[in-house]
């Protein structure tokens, strides 16, 4: 995780790009991975931990009907999170993460380890679905952060 974060901070600095995050299931781990790197203040603008549905509604303006119909852990919610984060932060790149880190809270349709990561750069938006199986809470969170860092690196190059 640390090597990826270093690589990302260097790349964003080189390209003079700013980044922001809206995290749910990772609880700030993604933001922390970036801010632990010297020089991150040149690239990191904003990190929101919108853990509850209420914060997703109040801060990120995720419509209540989207949360009711699709749930907090869904493609649709992740998409609204990243779009509205981008409006708030006005950064070059915005990324959202929502998922079920467990060990409880999963269902057959949405098992523990299900994570959505959304990224927006300019007019390009991508929302990806991941399933981290047979892992503990901390491992799911770390895996989601690693996927997010890799996704940003691929998106920026």
Q: Is the distance from CB of 152 to CB of 33 less than 8 angstroms? A: no
Residues 6+ apart with CB under 8 A from 81: 22, 24, 50, 56, 60, 62, 96, 98, 118
Per-residue DSSP letter, 40: G
* CATH number of the CATH domain containing 113: 3.90.950.20
Give pTM, 2 decimals.
Answer: 0.97
Q: Is the distance from CB of 114 to CB of 131 less than 8 angstroms? A: yes
Half-sphere exposure of 128 (CA within 13 A, CB side): 14
**Which segments of 50-156 are extended strands (E)?**
93-99, 114-121, 124-131
Average pLDDT over residues 150-154: 97
Residue 12 has pLDDT above 90, yes or no: yes
Token pair of 63, please?
Answer: 């419509």
User: Residues 53-109: pLDDT tens digits?
Assistant: 999 999 999 999 999 999 999 999 999 999 999 999 999 999 999 999 999 999 999
Query: How many domains is the chain partitioned into structurally?
Result: 1
Q: In which domain, by residue range, is 92 found?
A: 2-156
């Amino acid at each position: 995780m640390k090597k990826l974060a270093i690589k990302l901070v260097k790349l964003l600095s080189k390209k003079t790009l700013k980044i922001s995050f809206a995290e749910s299931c990772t609880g700030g781990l993604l933001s922390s991975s970036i801010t632990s790197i010297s020089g991150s203040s040149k690239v990191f603008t904003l990190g929101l931990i919108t853990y509850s549905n209420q914060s997703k509604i109040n801060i990120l303006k995720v419509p209540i009907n989207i949360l009711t119909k699709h749930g907090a852990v869904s493609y649709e919610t992740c998409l609204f999170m990243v779009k509205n984060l981008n409006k708030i932060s006005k950064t070059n790149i915005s990324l959202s993460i929502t998922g079920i880190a467990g060990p409880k809270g999963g269902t057959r349709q949405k098992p523990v380890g299900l994570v959505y990561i959304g990224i927006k750069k300019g007019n390009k938006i991508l929302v990806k679905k991941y399933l981290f199986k047979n892992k503990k809470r901390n491992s799911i969170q770390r895996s989601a952060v690693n996927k997010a860092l890799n996704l940003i690196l691929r998106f920026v190059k």
